[in-house]
Chains A and B, each alone.
Chain A
Amino acid sequence: MSNINLAVNRVSKRFGGNQAVDHVSFSVTKPELIGMIGPNGAGKTTLTNVMSGMIKPTSGAIYLNGKRIDGHPAYDVTRAGLGRTFQITRALGRMTVLENMMVPGLAHRPGANRSALEERAREILALLTIEHLTNEYSRALSGGQRKLLELGRLLMLEPSIIILDEPFAGVHPRLQETIYQYIHRVHEDGKAIILISHDMGAVFELSQRLLVLHHGALIADGAPQDVKSDPAVIEAYLGHDEED
């Protein structure tokens, strides 16, 4: 995917009296690996939800490859090329792993040959080391396996930008390694990745660029080294009880 152009323009989201996202603006124009960090309740997940079309922003606009996507339903956003995973995994429990893979496959390419898609799904599952679970109901999967399944589903969509919400949380170290590889591989394929994680080590190791959210506002946007020394960021993290 060569053309990547995500522009987030002064996006805000209010829940009642709570300003969850406060006039956030940034853009992604090349296949970068972007980390998004911030203390608990900083608005990371809300921003992800807004960007992926799960909730409407209160104000502001988001453009993806020239198309306005804010306020559009999630499936439109997904089709426009922005895929995401969930912090708490959302495997489709009473469907087999293969069926889980086929849903985005068929949704993305309605007319596609089913067996070819299945072949592709098996390849991806093999890549993620869960091919032996192909016919298993996904409710029977462990937490880590579900994370892998979510990542696999994203590949079926061939998005240009991927938002990974806490991909390492509660995952066995061996599977974490697989996820690391996955991220590198996808990145090498020319996709932009926005990685949200509490795991500072992983974020600093992987990211080329960091976004820091605090009280819903974007307080820093830059290379990891610069951000690390940004006084606002230090204030945000030290001024509060940092979780994890």
Chain B
Amino acid sequence: MAFFKRFESTIDNGIGRRRFGYIVLGLIILFFLWFPNDSSQSNYAKTVFISGFFYAIMASSWALLAGIAGQFSFGHMAFMGIGAYVAGLIARDGIVFATLGIAISPESISAIGAIIIGTLIAGLVGLVIGWLLLRLRSAYLALFTIAFSELFRIMMLTEYDYTGGSNGLSLRPLLQIADVDTARQVEYYLMFGLLIVCLLVMHWVANSPIGLFLRAMREDEDAASALGVNVVRYKILIFVFTSMIVGLAGAVFYSDVGSERIIPEQLEVLQMSLIIAYAVIGGMESLVGAAAGAFISRYLLEATREVVIALPLGLTTSDGSGAFVWETGAWRYALFGVIMVFTLRYMRNGLLHPIITWFSGRDLIMQETVSKRKSDDDYDDQPEAGDE
């Protein structure tokens, strides 16, 4: 109790808490760095973490695009797919511009080269799509991006002569390490590093003037424009930027780092909806929150495949064991839907938001200002309702 009291007093100011928050964050990063060295962990656990990192990148970049910039896109998976497919096609077929007389043989393109080109093309498509989307808002934008990603998926599936169809497309392996354990170790650090780098870059963008402008546009595009924010430039910019991030993540992940081939099923609306659900549950407006949401949600979806309900002591089930085993099947997705709906309704900023807010000390500042405002509360005019 005494310890708790002392603890509470040290964290009772914003700076202390923030410091404490950095320590916790550091510990989490240290845990991830140490994790693959734990000899008791199997390669499978690392594989799960690797795909967790991948989805964390997807969810956090979607949070940047939708939560911070307010561009409600369902095309995120498609951009990921563009990165991966372009990288794969280029490494397989090379680049040929017959009319310009350019022909680069596939052998002369390294895996890294293919990934870079894939990333650039994803950014380029992001540029075009971002430009097309300038006139569209909210529901229209969501619908258009759904159409775009469905078209892309159908094309990848139908033009199987080029894309491999539902057999998927193998990318050139990024790493050539024979030993499975070492390879997994390296893949783990590679993907984790990519996640950290992406988070840092996105964090930097979100906290730069650009992030400020994006949030202003999210709140009210017309008002932001009237305040001199070049809404066209930043809207396109954020599409290009997030497309490149997910294009890169896709190209790397499918270059035999997390998976050895990309299949069109990965681009289905369901997969996209899972990303959105991760981000919503973790917190749409926080990059770290969305990343953690993806990581935790995936873990939970995995862990709740089978739910064991232990019976009180002395009771047994008909087969003599002390617990019921419930194969959750589709129920766990149904539950996931419920969590998503309730999160949206009652904890708009995600389940992790209170924790993040607490560490940031933001609520203390709020309390102060609220009390200040109350003190000179002699105005009878009421806050206006939503500006929407």
Contacts and interface: CB of A to CB of B under 8 A. Distances in A.
Direct chain A–B contact by Cβ atoms under 8 Å: yes
Interface of A: 52-54, 73-75, 78-79, 83-84, 86, 88-95, 99, 102-104, 106-108, 110, 114, 132-133, 135-137, 139-146, 153, 157, 170-172, 174-175
Interface stretch (B161-169, B207-215, B306-314, B324-332): B207-215
A139 B220 CA distance: 12
Given A88-B387, A141-B383, A73 B215 contact: no
Q: Closest 5 interchain pairs by CB?
A: A90-B223, A74-B225, A107-B228, A92-B219, A104-B227
A135 to B, nearest CB: 5
A53 to B, nearest CB: 8
Nearest to A110: B209
Nearest to A117: B209
Interface residues of B, number: 34
Given A103-B229, A107-B213, A133-B373, A92 B381 contact: no
A216 to B, nearest CB: 22
Contacts of A53: 225-226
B345 interface: no
A143 B379 CA distance: 10
A175 B209 CA distance: 31
Contact of B220 (A52, A92, A108, A110): A92
A238 B231 CA distance: 43
B376 interface: yes
Interface in B194-248: 209, 212-213, 215-216, 219-220, 222-232
A103 B370 CA distance: 23
Given A93-B219, A103-B227, 19 more contacts: A54-B226, A74-B222, A74-B225, A74-B226, A75-B228, A78-B225, A78-B226, A86-B223, A90-B226, A90-B387, A92-B223, A92-B224, A93-B386, A107-B230, A135-B365, A136-B370, A140-B373, A172-B381, A174-B379
B227 A170 contact: no
Nearest to A74: B225
A84 B226 contact: yes
Contact of A136 (B215, B219, B369): B369
B225 A75 contact: yes
Interface string B241-262: 0000000000000000000000
B297 to A, nearest CB: 24
A153 B369 contact: no
A132 B227 contact: no
A153 B369 CA distance: 20
A27 B30 CA distance: 66
Given A88-B387, A110-B209, A132-B369, A142 B226 contact: no
9 contacts: A54-B226, A75-B225, A78-B225, A79-B228, A106-B209, A106-B213, A107-B229, A132-B376, A153-B227
Given A135-B369, A143-B382, A172-B381, A95 B229 contact: no
A139 B369 contact: no
A73 B232 contact: yes
B284 to A, nearest CB: 12
A143 B384 contact: yes
Nearest to B226: A74
B232 to A, nearest CB: 6
A175 B230 contact: no
A103 B213 contact: yes
Contacts of B229: 75, 103-104, 107
Contacts of A135: 365, 369
Contact of A146 (B219, B365, B384): B384
Contacts of B382: 142-143
A78 B227 CA distance: 7
Interface in B298-341: none
B383 to A, nearest CB: 5
B380 interface: yes
A108 B222 CA distance: 16
Given A90-B220, A92-B216, A103-B212, A140 B383 contact: yes
Tell which of B219, B227, B373, B379 has the most Cβ of chain A within 10 Å: B227
